[in-house]
Structure 1
Amino acid sequence: MTEEKKSTSKEKPSSEGRGTLFDKFLNGIETLGNKLPDPAMLFFILLVIVWVLSAVLSPIDFGEVHPRTGEELLVQNQLTGENLADFLANMVNTFVLFAPLGIVLVAMLGVGVAEHSGWIDAGLKKLLNFTPKMLLTPMLILIAIVSHTAADAGYVLVIPLGGVIFYAAGRHPLAGIAAAFAGVSGGFSANFIPSAIDPLLMSFTLEAAQILNPDMALNPINNWYFTSASCLLIVTVGWYITDKIVEPRLEGIEIDGDEDEMPQMESVTDRESRAFWWGFIAMIMGILGLVLWAYPADSALRGPDMVNPEIQSLVSFEAPLMQAIVPLIFVLLLIPGVVYGFVSGKYSSSKDMIDNMTKSMESMGYYIVMAFFCALFIDAFSKSNIGLLVALKGANFLQALALPGQVTIVGIILLSAFVNLLVGSASAKWALIAPIFVPMLMQLGISPDLTQAAYRVGDSVSNIITPLLPYFPLVVVFCQRYVKNTGIGTLISMMLPYALIFLVTWTIFLLVYWAIGIPLSFEAYYTYPAGG
Structure 2
Amino acid sequence: MSEATLDPPRGLVARALDWVERVGNKLPDPAVLFLLLMIVVWVASWLLSGMSFAEIDPRTGKAITINNLLAGSALTGFMAQMVSTFVNFPPLGVVLVAMLGLGVAEHTGFINAALRALLSVTPRMLLTPALIGVGILSHIAVDAGYVLVIPLGAVIFYAAGRHPLAGIAAAFAGVSGGFSATFFLPSSLDPLLSGLTQSAAHLIDPSVVVNPLNNFYFTSASTLLIMLVGWFLTDRVIEPRLTKTKVDGDPAGLPKMDDLTAAEKRGLAWAIGAMALTAALFILTLLPETSPWRAPAGTPLLAGQSDLLVSQAPLMQSIVPLIFIFFLVPGVMYGYVSGSAKSHRDIIAGMAKAMSGMGYYVVMAFFCAQFIYAFGQSNLGALLAIKGANLLQTMGLPMSMTLVGIVLLSGFVNLLVGSASAKWALIGAIMVPMLMQLGVSPDLTQAAYRVGDSSTNIITPLLPYFPLIVVFCRKYVQNSGIGTLVALMLPYSVTLLVIWTTFLIGFWALGIPLGVGATYSYPAG
The answer on whether the counterparts of 2:301 and 2:307 sit within 8 Å (CA) in structure 1 is: no
Of 247-256 and 277-286, the range deviating more from structure 2:
277-286
What are the within-5 Å matches in structure 2 for residues 340-355 of structure 1?
Answer: 340-355=334-349
Q: Determine whether 1:134 maps to 2:128.
A: no
For residue 292 of structure 1, report the CA deviation from its aligned partner.
2.5
Q: 2:405 aligns with which of 408, 411, 417?
A: 411
For residue 248 of structure 1, report the CA deviation from its aligned partner.
0.9
For residue 154 of structure 1, report the CA deviation from its aligned partner.
0.6
Distance in 2 between the 1:395 and 1:178 partners? 32
Distance in 2 between the 1:447 and 1:489 partners? 39
For 2:215, the equivalent position in structure 1 comes to 223
For 1:166, the equivalent position in structure 2 comes to 157
What are the within-5 Å matches in structure 2 for residues 79-118 of structure 1?
Answer: 79-118=70-109
SS of the aligned residue for 1:263 comes to coil
Q: Determine whether 1:269 maps to 2:229.
A: no
TM-superposition CA deviations, 1:121-167 (whole Å, max 9, x none): 11111111111111111111001111111111011011011110110
TM-superposition CA deviations, 1:464-508 (whole Å, max 9, x none): 111111111100000000000001111111110000001000001
TM-superposition CA deviations, 1:358-407 (whole Å, max 9, x none): 00001101111111111111110111111111111101111111222221
Of 463-472 and 217-226, the range deviating more from structure 2:
217-226
Q: Determine whether 1:385 maps to 2:396.
A: no
Q: 1:485 aligns with which of 479, 501, 520?
A: 479
SS of the aligned residue for 2:63 comes to coil
Unaligned runs of 5+ in 2: none
For residue 274 of structure 1, report the CA deviation from its aligned partner.
2.4
Distance in 2 between the 1:12 and 1:211 partners? 67
The answer on whether the counterparts of 1:441 and 1:451 sit within 8 Å (CA) in structure 2 is: yes
Change in 2 beyond 3 A, CA 1:288/1:14: farther
Q: Determine whether 1:52 maps to 2:43.
A: yes
Corresponding letter in the other structure for 1:138: P
Q: Determine whether 1:503 maps to 2:494.
A: no
SS of the aligned residue for 1:528 comes to coil
The answer on whether the counterparts of 1:148 and 1:188 sit within 8 Å (CA) in structure 2 is: yes
SS of the aligned residue for 2:56 comes to coil
Of 313-322 and 300-309, the range deviating more from structure 2:
300-309
For 1:179, the equivalent position in structure 2 comes to 170
Change in 2 beyond 3 A, CA 1:295/1:392: farther
For 1:245, the equivalent position in structure 2 comes to 237
Corresponding letter in the other structure for 2:399: G
SS of the aligned residue for 1:481 comes to helix
Q: Determine whether 1:451 maps to 2:437.
A: no
SS of the aligned residue for 1:412 comes to helix
The two structures have a TM-score, normalised by structure 2, of 0.96
The answer on whether the counterparts of 1:111 and 1:330 sit within 8 Å (CA) in structure 2 is: yes
Of 317-326 and 501-510, the range deviating more from structure 2:
317-326
TM-superposition CA deviations, 1:228-250 (whole Å, max 9, x none): 11010000000010011111111
Distance in 1 between the 2:241 and 2:6 partners? 6
Q: Determine whether 1:295 maps to 2:287.
A: yes
What are the within-5 Å matches in structure 2 for residues 1-40 of structure 1?
Answer: 18-40=9-31
Q: Determine whether 1:200 maps to 2:192.
A: yes
TM-superposition CA deviations, 1:23-45 (whole Å, max 9, x none): 22111111111111111111111
Q: 1:395 aligns with which of 386, 389, 393?
A: 389
Unaligned runs of 5+ in 1: 1-10
Change in 2 beyond 3 A, CA 1:456/1:125: same
Q: Determine whether 1:145 maps to 2:139.
A: no
The answer on whether the counterparts of 1:405 and 1:444 sit within 8 Å (CA) in structure 2 is: no
Calculate percent identity across the aligned residue pairs: 59
Distance in 2 between the 1:112 and 1:14 partners? 44
Change in 2 beyond 3 A, CA 1:237/1:441: same
For residue 443 of structure 1, report the CA deviation from its aligned partner.
2.4
Distance in 1 between the 2:469 and 2:110 partners? 23
Corresponding letter in the other structure for 2:431: F
For 1:279, the equivalent position in structure 2 comes to 271
For 1:6, the equivalent position in structure 2 comes to none
Q: Determine whether 1:527 maps to 2:518.
A: no
SS of the aligned residue for 1:202 comes to helix
Change in 2 beyond 3 A, CA 1:298/1:168: same
The answer on whether the counterparts of 1:14 and 1:253 sit within 8 Å (CA) in structure 2 is: no
For 1:119, the equivalent position in structure 2 comes to 110
For residue 295 of structure 1, report the CA deviation from its aligned partner.
3.0
For residue 16 of structure 1, report the CA deviation from its aligned partner.
11
Distance in 1 between the 2:169 and 2:516 partners? 34
Change in 2 beyond 3 A, CA 1:12/1:523: farther
TM-superposition CA deviations, 1:238-283 (whole Å, max 9, x none): 0010011111111111111001110011111222122212212222
Distance in 2 between the 1:31 and 1:456 partners? 31
TM-superposition CA deviations, 1:26-85 (whole Å, max 9, x none): 111111111111111111111111111111111111222211321332111111111111
For residue 308 of structure 1, report the CA deviation from its aligned partner.
5.5
SS of the aligned residue for 1:313 comes to coil
For 1:3, the equivalent position in structure 2 comes to none
Q: Determine whether 1:424 maps to 2:418.
A: yes
The answer on whether the counterparts of 2:178 and 2:455 sit within 8 Å (CA) in structure 1 is: yes
Distance in 2 between the 1:405 and 1:462 partners? 22
**Aligned-pair RMSD on alpha carbons?**
2.0
Distance in 2 between the 1:133 and 1:26 partners? 26
Q: 1:374 aligns with which of 368, 378, 394?
A: 368
Change in 2 beyond 3 A, CA 1:351/1:341: same
For residue 174 of structure 1, report the CA deviation from its aligned partner.
0.5
Q: 2:461 aligns with which of 462, 467, 476?
A: 467
Change in 2 beyond 3 A, CA 1:14/1:133: farther
Distance in 2 between the 1:340 and 1:299 partners? 31
For residue 12 of structure 1, report the CA deviation from its aligned partner.
8.5
For residue 299 of structure 1, report the CA deviation from its aligned partner.
2.3
Change in 2 beyond 3 A, CA 1:237/1:150: same
The answer on whether the counterparts of 1:115 and 1:121 sit within 8 Å (CA) in structure 2 is: yes
Distance in 2 between the 1:317 and 1:13 partners? 55
The answer on whether the counterparts of 2:301 and 2:310 sit within 8 Å (CA) in structure 1 is: no
For residue 312 of structure 1, report the CA deviation from its aligned partner.
7.6
Distance in 1 between the 2:389 and 2:367 partners? 30
Change in 2 beyond 3 A, CA 1:217/1:354: same
Distance in 1 between the 2:419 and 2:444 partners? 20
Distance in 2 between the 1:209 and 1:307 partners? 19
The answer on whether the counterparts of 1:13 and 1:252 sit within 8 Å (CA) in structure 2 is: no
Distance in 1 between the 2:20 and 2:133 partners? 28
